Structure 1
Amino acid sequence: MKFTYWVTEDCNLRCKYCYVSKAPKTMNRETAAKAIDFTEKKLAANPLEHKDEIRIALHGGEPLLNYPIIHYLVEELKQKNHGEISFTMTTNGTIYNEEMLDYVSKNIQLTVSLDGKQESHDINRVYRNGKGSFNRVIETLDYINHQSHSFRVRMTVTPNNVSYFADNYIFLSEKGYPIVTFAMDESDSNWNKDLMKVYQSNLNEIFSYMVNNNLTKAQYFLYNFKNEHFRPRGVCDGCHNSFHISSEGKIYPCILAVGHGEFSMGDVFSDIIEQRLSNLDVINQKNQGACTKCAMYNNCRSKMCKIINKIQTGNYYESSPIFCATQRIHYSIVKEYEYILKNFEFLLSTH
């Protein structure tokens, strides 16, 4: 089972592609305690579902702005002794406080947002006064890198930085960070056919770089990439096995649903509203629309994530054209590099 606590929706940055509310709320101790009670209740009701691992994500805004609640949640949940429990958190990397960083590095699997070189990062990831945040993030990463070797760096690819996508990815990889990941901001309406070609060219350059530098890492990279975009999809398990709890205690099925009143399934003070969840289940269990005719449908996010479809297109059963175009690119890249890596393996086995 997975529980995501939005410890704050406030942030010290004003990233241009951010989807979080600009009227921020912050989780208080009472709500945090009720969130833990809700978590305990769900785990007790579904013992088989959390047999292997309980996953807790701490989310924002910038979560470290509410560090006392992070500390409280982690320590309280660790004491419940439910077996294996893991904590994850994404931070913008701008809060350089060694006490905080020491604690989270020890207890939480960290992801730090960094979009690449300074020129690309500072295009979008800026403070309220418009100043770029690159230098502070690098300072934080340098410190974390000495404390832990199990963090990730995450890039966001946008229309205004996609031309430097490969260059940025290689830059971060060569800095020696353990894992570098990326995601496209598909909500940006400025994507077009020409920019998609730029994205594909840069993605191809990244895969080529991986193959030429370390074959084992390239195979691992391809495996994870394929699993991320083309793993078999079932029905959304939001508010069954996965819960997002907002700063004010409302319960939502997924990350993009938070803040959309129509997708609130209840709150931690009074529990899930079963009729709302039942109505959502009906929507999620139907397979309709043009997407069902696509050969990739059973391995596509669009099948499972009806809420994302609704938010992006206004239709539960229609996927975003930007997402579809991206998936076609991803599919062609996967096929190309599966072939290349198989040939490499064959050549190595014959020598």
Structure 2
Amino acid sequence: MNEEKDEASILAILSTEYNLNSNDAKFYLSQYSQFEKATIQYSIAENYNMELTPQMIEATLSNLEQITFEVTDACNLKCKYCGYGDFYENYDARTHKNLPIEHAKKLIEFLSKYWETKENLSEGEVIYVSFYGGEPLLNMPFIKSIVRLFDSYNLKRPIKYTMTTNAILLKKHIGYLASHDFHLLISLDGNKYNNSYRVWPNGKSSYNIVYECMKYIQDNLPAYFKDNIEFNAVLHDKNSVEEIINFFREEFSKTPLIGELNLNGIKKEKKDEFKTLFKDTAQSINESSQKGKLEKIMKDKDPFLNLLTVFIQRNSIMSYPDYNSLFSLKRKIQSLPTGTCIPFSKKIFITVNGKLLPCERIGQEYSLGYVTNQKVELDLDVICKYYNKWLMPISQKCGTCYMRHSCQHCIFNFPNSEKPFCIDYLDKENFKRFLKRAIDYLERNPQSYRHIMKDIIMR
């Protein structure tokens, strides 16, 4: 009786909110029901209690995809929302310190021993060497030393250099960076007003120098600009997804990455002020009169499409993470509770103080090891105990979440990580709402499914 009542309610919604006739409403209800039945049955079919082991970490170190150096903690700008600025408290004190080249050498020597083991299955695959700050161009000698160092190694893997920069000093160094095929991620939030929070220490706008630099590279190194320059815009109360997209397409024929303000590590006394700056990407898209157009333009830069891609990939019976899984008679998903990565499965990040972290996006209080002039301290057994201590308390809750195989939430970014809870936990009813949104999205963007299956998963 309840199922009949639910069906009648859904048919009524389809008819009124979507202006569908009776036959079309029944068709979409049938389509949704089949999708719901398959995914919900799958979602409750697995146990969720996998623990991290040292062998897992050894495998990730042996096949490391990216090394990121915090070149310096100094910066020539003072952006209002900076992750190392006044809003936050989860980072080491900024003292205009540079990363010693000796620490970088020690780390590379340490990692190279893993790359020489039988666990290394990545011969021929790109390893990304990335430079981060602060503003990395303030310490150009370090960058050149690292490039020379990797040139002297025989890694049997091609090197791709990348850098995140505010572009203030870029014109001065673009010749060197272009000659070494650096991929550059430029921080710019849109037009001059949109970019109001990216200022010099005296509060004056940094927009003109960045804009002019970009136009210089676009005019004088057009092929390099097209292939190697990407933009990252931070979303806040002085811009919108629509404004950002329109600006970069009109000025540079580019579609930028769009990121939200970091919600983790905010000082208690700054939370109210922070809320006035914060803007949600999905909400900004939904508020736009160009919603459908923006979704098509953004493609895989659309955060919902990213979530949908992970969901389809991990819930597809024909999607396998490696060839061993392909030939397995019993398919069983193995992953840690939450969306927390196996340490160093994506990158290893070294700070100016020699701390080692899984990435630059988590608080620096969560260091997993250290580099000194003498050695690298990275105890895999201790790391496993540390991770499992945090992950196991929430694993039971994860086991009842209908989105657990598609989770992208890192345990280090959970509110109150000592007793973690997930703000995006989905029970059955909320999972149904996600499925509805997924179907709505694919109905508006039918090309996206082919893009997910062919260009993203199958590439």
Q: CA offsets, 1:18-59, max 9 Å, x none?
A: 123533421122223223223323322442256522122211
Alignment correspondent of 1:161: 238
Runs (5+) with no aligned partner, structure 2: 1-63, 85-91, 315-333, 425-430, 450-459
**RMSD between aligned residues:** 3.6
CA distance in 1, matches of 2:145, 2:277: 48
3-state secondary structure, aligned to 1:251: strand
- Structure 1 residue 209 and structure 2 residue 293: aligned? yes
Give the alignment partner of residue 298 of structure 1, picking from 382, 395, 405: 405
CA contact (8 A) 1:291 1:318 kept: no
- Cα pair distance change 1:50/1:194, threshold 3 Å: same
- Cα pair distance change 1:178/1:38, threshold 3 Å: farther
3-state secondary structure, aligned to 1:175: helix
CA distance in 1, matches of 2:433, 2:137: 36
CA contact (8 A) 2:188 2:232 kept: yes
- Cα pair distance change 1:226/1:234, threshold 3 Å: farther
User: Which residue identity does 1:67 align to in structure 2?
Assistant: M
Give the alignment partner of residue 175 of structure 1, picking from 222, 231, 251: 251
- The 5 A counterparts of 1:22-61 are 22-45=94-117, 46-49=119-122, 52-61=125-134
- Structure 1 residue 263 and structure 2 residue 367: aligned? yes
- Structure 1 residue 277 and structure 2 residue 350: aligned? no
CA distance in 2, matches of 1:197, 1:8: 30
The number of residues matched between the two structures is: 326
Give the alignment partner of residue 200 of structure 1, picking from 283, 288, 309: 283
Runs (5+) with no aligned partner, structure 1: 322-326, 346-351
Bigger-Rg structure (1/2): 2
Cα shift at 1:282: 1.5
CA contact (8 A) 2:160 2:182 kept: yes
Alignment correspondent of 2:68: 4
User: Which residue identity does 1:185 align to in structure 2?
Assistant: L
3-state secondary structure, aligned to 2:195: helix
Q: CA offsets, 1:57-105, max 9 Å, x none?
A: 211111111111111112321332322222211101111443x112223
- Structure 1 residue 74 and structure 2 residue 152: aligned? no
Tell me the TM-score normalized by structure 2: 0.62
CA distance in 2, matches of 1:306, 1:136: 39
- Cα pair distance change 1:52/1:317, threshold 3 Å: farther
Alignment correspondent of 1:313: 416
Cα shift at 1:334: 5.6
Tell me the TM-score normalized by structure 1: 0.78
3-state secondary structure, aligned to 2:258: strand
- Cα pair distance change 1:183/1:14, threshold 3 Å: same
Higher mean C-alpha displacement, 333-342 vs 146-155: 333-342
Alignment correspondent of 1:92: 166
- Cα pair distance change 1:229/1:143, threshold 3 Å: farther
Report percent identity of matched pairs.
22
**Larger RCO of the pair (alpha carbons < 8 Å, separation 6+):** 2
- Cα pair distance change 1:218/1:136, threshold 3 Å: closer
- Cα pair distance change 1:168/1:9, threshold 3 Å: same
CA contact (8 A) 1:289 1:318 kept: no
Alignment correspondent of 2:77: 13
User: Which residue identity does 1:209 align to in structure 2?
Assistant: K
User: Which residue identity does 2:292 align to in structure 1?
Assistant: S
3-state secondary structure, aligned to 1:174: helix
